[in-house]
Chains A and B, each alone.
Chain A
């Protein structure tokens, strides 16, 4: 084992020295390589962070949301509907929820109004999300008035601004008491927007949903796992699309690598010729060149990966955010939780190192079979 290791160490030593002798050429290649790793790594780190953000956010939402449908459209839950569900085994809690959208012409944005029990929000007061507070310049104890859809003006005191930690969920949220909600929207008494059910055992969720649709044929149960799955495939799909767009860049990079590797300078040719003349074999030259490729690959991979990490988690992925995040007037400001995933790194490796290696193998071989006398005579 030792002689083998020593041989490889000397090869690496030689390779590094030879790389350093041709700085400009190799730095150019390294830069292009790092850039491609950076772009791809930013992409996958960012989508993965968004995916995990979505699953954190949804972890606290109810397992099943039940909507009533009329002619295929979402309608209000009439009084007595909640009792019709009866007792379903496995359901821990069921409650009617009250929420709606309000268009604010001042900032041209939609707010989500949601009723909370009086114990949390007193009548006449509201709690607002931090993006909304930022947009309208609100602070606790300020007053704000909204013109309701009926044309009446309602004044509220801001009791609190919701913590920015929950901004992804609460950016455009206005929490108010149930009676305020019903007065503001002139919501019919006893009606609800939808029903939230919590189910303790995740494996029972589908059965509960089946029972719900059997008991209430005009309803539509929405499962949390389905919402989560939709988010997952949405982000995966966006990532895949961007990746396909970037496939051209990967190909261009492979061509560049091929060019760089096959465009041996006269000096390099001479070097290989001399090496062979002093006793190196073709296999040794190939090994040396493979080490060269590995050194460049791993350096680029590391540099690109670190740069992507900084880009995504410290600068909010400024390059990709517009494509991948989606868009809204009251867009939540959120910092992503750093998350790196083994699958991503493995995939990234397959996308960068494999094409690079495949592209440089033939030029490496061409260089390695050079005849010493042919070079030295030239």
Chain B
């Protein structure tokens, strides 16, 4: 299955990311050991020059990883036609044991990359690059994550055998199963509705609070509320939003909504949700450095802007989900 254009592209992007990060690692170690902004030594000058290169390289690699998540899901959905028993991305991801770990890893890379990019952005705004050491230390931590991601993807794509009979989303996302996904799907529409809107209200509220009044406390609140809002949103999609979109009381799949039969409504839901969560996490991730002198002026501005983006994203997501529910012909809750 390796000769699929989208698979080649994904492996290319993941491989390039690992290569570039591995190439940057020795430099990262150098920066961590020898960086001294006050010094005018030749080594310091060389380091300062090189940070431009590596910051640009890494920003490029990580932006590519953001796009790769979309391509990964898109591709999984499209490949479903190739496997017996697969109706959507779930079937493709279930062909071997590496599919779902690979997707989760790609999602983790997405959020970690977003946080690193936020940190990098703030750092370039300050005169004295106060976060350089932290940035490159985090980079060294990011390298194994990206390497694992590449390894999982390779394992997954190499193991895609067309003769495997895979299972369809109906069996994975049903209320009777023992998995977390099944638990979430099996939740009654009433409590799920409350959890969904409460989680989103919390996320929007915290983000708006931070947007109006950027303090460290509200920043951390945005981080926590974004994470909670993300989980609540996914549970909500599993337990009732998808049902309304399919107009079917037992079809809980979060991937079938990506299909053209449902007008690609899933992309309209997931893109704002993921962007909002990434922005919210980014706003929180830069908070520990708010006290640094050179960042005191710029950091609140950046994080407030990120929080504004998060609030807008969650609002768009909530509005769309509500609209899908109201326009559906399915009645789950009688009133």
| Residues of chain A having any CB pair with chain B under 8 Å | 1, 44, 206, 228-229, 232-233, 236-237, 239-241, 243-244, 282-283, 286, 290, 342-344, 346-347, 349-351, 354-355, 357-358, 361-362, 364-365, 368-369
Contacts and interface: CB of A to CB of B under 8 A. Distances in A.
A240 B81 contact: no
A354 B56 contact: no
Given A358-B16, A361-B57, A239 B5 contact: yes
A373 to B, nearest CB: 14
Q: In the complex, which of the residues A236, A364, A368 has the most CB atoms of chain B within 10 Å of its own CB atom?
A: A236
Nearest to B64: A354
B74 A343 contact: yes
B5 A243 contact: yes
Q: In the complex, which of the residues A1, A237, A241 has the most CB atoms of chain B within 10 Å of its own CB atom?
A: A237
A357 B60 CA distance: 8
B259 to A, nearest CB: 12
Given A342-B74, A361-B57, A236 B4 contact: yes
B78 interface: yes
A233 B78 contact: no
9 contacts: A228-B81, A229-B82, A239-B3, A239-B5, A241-B3, A244-B8, A286-B56, A343-B74, A357-B60
Contact of B71 (A347, A355, A365): A347
Nearest to B19: A358
A185 B2 CA distance: 46
Interface residues of B, number: 32
Decide if the interface of chain B is mainly helix, strand, loop or mixed.
helix
Interface in B27-52: 49, 52
Contacts of B305: 1
A282 B129 CA distance: 14
A229 B124 CA distance: 50
Contacts of A233: 82, 162
Interface string B217-237: 000000000000000000000
A365 B48 CA distance: 12
A154 to B, nearest CB: 43
Contacts of B13: 350, 354
A244 B82 contact: no
Given A232-B82, A243-B5, 16 more contacts: A229-B84, A233-B82, A233-B162, A282-B49, A286-B52, A343-B71, A346-B74, A349-B67, A350-B10, A354-B13, A355-B12, A362-B53, A365-B52, A365-B56, A368-B52, A369-B49
A361 B12 contact: no
B9 A351 contact: yes
A330 B141 CA distance: 61
B140 interface: no
A240 B4 contact: yes
B187 interface: no
A231 to B, nearest CB: 10
Contacts of B148: none
A237 B82 CA distance: 12
B56 A361 contact: yes
Interface string B141-164: 000000000000000000000100
B6 interface: yes
A268 B223 CA distance: 45
